[in-house]
Amino acid sequence: MPWLPVAGMAHPRKSTRRFVGVDPTPDTAAHDEVPIDYPGAVAPAREYMLDVGQLNIAVHEWGDADAPPLFLVHGGFDFARTYDVFAPLIAAGGWRVVSWDQRGHGDSDHTELYSWDADLRDAAAVMDSVTSRPAPIIAHSKGGSMTIQLADGQPYRFSHIVNLDGIPSKRALPDVPDHERTRMMTTDVSSWLDLRRKVTFASRKPGTIDELAERRGRMNPRLSREWLRRLVTVGGRHDADGWRWKIDPAMRMGGFGPWRPEWTLTRLPGLPMPFLGILASELEVMGFGTMARHVMPFLPEGSRCVQLDGVGHFVHIEQPHVVAEMALEFIGSPSESRP
Amino acid sequence: MSTVTMLQHGKVSLALHRLRDGDGSRALLLLHGLGHHAPSTAPPWCEAWPGPVVALDFTGHGLSTVPRGGGYSAEMLLADADVALSTLGQATLVGQGLGAYIALQLAGARATSIRGAVLADGTGLAGGPAQPLAANVISLPRRDGPPDPYALFELSRDLRPPDYATVFARMAVEHSGLDEPLTISAVARPAWLVAVADEVGVAHASIRDALATYALIT
């Protein structure tokens, strides 16, 4: 698993990406631009590519390189740079904050296949490259759910888990009659298959910074336009015909499969490390809609779950200082993590 | 002698083998078992099939692309089979092992295009459990040539809840317009197949007999 240093990571895609088959959005005309300023936002101190089984995973770090490591995991359709405000607050607590773009997201490779199991494997590879000791982890949304799954199978990796609105529960999927379930599945499956038939030639729609910010705002309706505009300049690239989100156009929200959201919740009681859940109270399209009362019965000994009033799914973006303070207090001093 | 057409599914190239030409009627599409590949010649049990006989290599198998870093799911193989179906229009399916599970899904998902599906014994028929196990996160060494070790690992432990499988059976029955759109020829009966076998509209017969019935459907 060799490191692939990328000079300044200014053009990571150009120097290290490999595509098999069709790359619908060749970046020969792409160029990076300086991110739009946002109060408190700080670019990572170190960025590099990690070769994970012939796949390049983009790693982003904030804080002192010699400080104890703390992992930060992003959610679905996000990327590590969405932590540009939150990560520096954690790093200021004395941590080496290590985050990465999940496959298909941010600056990591677009791959042939995507699955949670593959995401877990990539995550484990990043963690193994940083430390063999238990480390704290803060994870949002899908990243939070993935982390519970990984902690259930490999608990030795984590000293503390802070989960940011990333606990799926059955509540979001009400029981429906069998015939209605069949109808919904028929629609979901045929729609997904229609997309797969066309995905070879799919491309993210180009636009101006404002247009991409407006599109993302539909999924992130509570986040400010200024923040969304900055995200375009760190999570998008500027091609000759406009800005595009870097995320693989083969990916889409939703889908179907045998997985059930309540299965994540049932892993919680067995976790041996302290667990802090910080949940939203405002329902959003990107969130699981889980409330603290759904989680409480499943919390292991020594764990906590709080719900932030008037806050949406992106708790760490809406309330970065509050959430960072809660996380740092829960995890404790980094000096206790030194070997 | 079979001929091979490469189809594109996202970043994966899929090999579709034409094992035998037919009389211009509906194609028979064969879906192989886990770790296997399309046969090089038409199997004897389909000798009476009047139309062409074609067979797909799933992602990571046969002549199809071996992806980097795994990430397999039965649902993505369903999409492989659907890409093949898009070139055939309509088809009757014979799925063996893992291919039987995919054939069930395709028969439900594309009920008006699939004119009968036969679920037969083969490798990977059982799949994984009905509920998830603890995360088994391992990295596998790449081997020269197919099948992809990640396909063998991930598709032998993918979740197959019986009530998830029966939804596809009901989709096939409800939307195909056929009295018995599914036929089980498999002797082995993992839990998902036991549940499907109990559904209305599911017949039980040998592959040969099932194809004789489905060949009469227009």
Q: What pLDDT shows up at residue B103?
A: 98
Greater model confidence, B61 or A28: B61
Q: Which residues pair with B8 in a beta bridge?
A: B13
Tokens read off for B47: 């000798």
Break chain B down into helix, strand, coil percent, rounded to 5: 30, 20, 50
Which domain CATH number covers A311? 3.40.50.1820
Look at A21 and B65 and tell me if their CB atoms are within 8 Å: yes
Distance between terminal CA atoms of chain A? 24
Q: Which residues pair with A164 in a beta bridge?
A: A140, A278
Q: What pLDDT shows up at residue A262?
A: 86
A189 within some domain:
no
Nearest to B12 among A112, A189, A259 (CB): A112
Residue A1 pLDDT level (bands cut at 50, 70, 90) = very low
Asked if the ipTM is above 0.85, the reply is: yes
Q: What pLDDT shows up at residue A32?
A: 56
- DSSP letter string, A124-136: HHHHHHH-SS-EE
Torsion angle in degrees (nearest 10) through CA of A202, A206, A209, A210: -90
How close does chain B come to A317, measured CA to CA in Å? 30
Q: What pLDDT shows up at residue B133?
A: 82
How close does chain B come to A79, measured CA to CA in Å? 19
Residue A15 pLDDT level (bands cut at 50, 70, 90) = very low
Look at B167 and A185 and tell me if their CB atoms are within 8 Å: yes
Nearest CA in chain A to B158: A258
Q: How many domains does chain B have?
A: 1
A321 within some domain:
yes
A288 within some domain:
yes
Look at A54 and B142 and tell me if their CB atoms are within 8 Å: yes
CA dihedral for B27, B28, B33, B35, sign (positive or negative):
negative
Look at B73 and A115 and tell me if their CB atoms are within 8 Å: yes
Residues of chain B where predicted confidence (pLDDT) is lower than 70: 1
Contacts of B198 in chain A (CB under 8 A): none
Q: What pLDDT shows up at residue B143?
A: 82
Residue A4 pLDDT level (bands cut at 50, 70, 90) = very low
Q: What pLDDT shows up at residue A338?
A: 57
List pLDDT tens digits, range A78-123. Answer: 999 999 999 999 999 999 999 999 999 999 999 999 999 999 999 9
A181 within some domain:
no
Nearest to B10 among A53, A178, A250 (CB): A250
Cβ pairs A/B, distance under 8 A = 147
A15 within some domain:
no
Q: What pLDDT shows up at residue A19?
A: 29
Nearest to A185 among B132, B159, B171 (CB): B171
Contacts of A270 in chain B (CB under 8 A): none
Q: What pLDDT shows up at residue A335?
A: 86
Residue B14 near residue B64 (C-beta atoms within 8 A): yes
Mean pLDDT for the stretch of residues A284-297? 92
Q: What pLDDT shows up at residue A175?
A: 56
Look at B174 and A182 and tell me if their CB atoms are within 8 Å: yes
User: Which of A126-135, A162-171, B9-18, B66-75 shows the lowest mean pLDDT across its residues?
Assistant: A162-171
Q: What pLDDT shows up at residue A237?
A: 94
Its pTM stands at 0.91
CA dihedral for A153, A156, A157, A158, sign (positive or negative):
positive
Helix (H, G, I), strand (E, B) or coil at B217: coil
Q: How many domains does chain A have?
A: 1
Q: Does A114 touch chain B (CB under 8 A)?
A: yes
The CA distance from A117 to A128, in Å, is 16
The kind and range of the H/E element at B176 are: helix B162-176
Please identify among residues 134-153 of chain A the ones whose CB lies closer than 8 Å to any CB of chain B.
Answer: 149-150, 152-153
Q: What pLDDT shows up at residue A9?
A: 37
Q: What pLDDT shows up at residue A178?
A: 67
Contacts of A192 in chain B (CB under 8 A): 75, 79
CA B45 to chain centre: 17
A104 within some domain:
yes
Q: Does A193 touch chain B (CB under 8 A)?
A: yes
Helix (H, G, I), strand (E, B) or coil at B94: strand
Q: What pLDDT shows up at residue A339?
A: 53
Mean pLDDT for the stretch of residues A155-165? 97
φ, ψ (nearest 5 deg) of residue A104: 85, -10
List pLDDT tens digits, range B104-150. Answer: 999 999 999 999 999 999 999 999 999 888 878 888 988 888 999 99
Residue range(s) defining the domain that contains residue A90: 3-7+22-174+253-337
Contacts of A124 in chain B (CB under 8 A): 137, 139
Which domain CATH number covers B94? 3.40.50.1820
Residue range(s) defining the domain that contains residue B11: 3-214
How close does chain A come to B8, measured CA to CA in Å? 7
Residue A176 pLDDT level (bands cut at 50, 70, 90) = low
A123 within some domain:
yes
pLDDT higher than 70, residue A23:
no
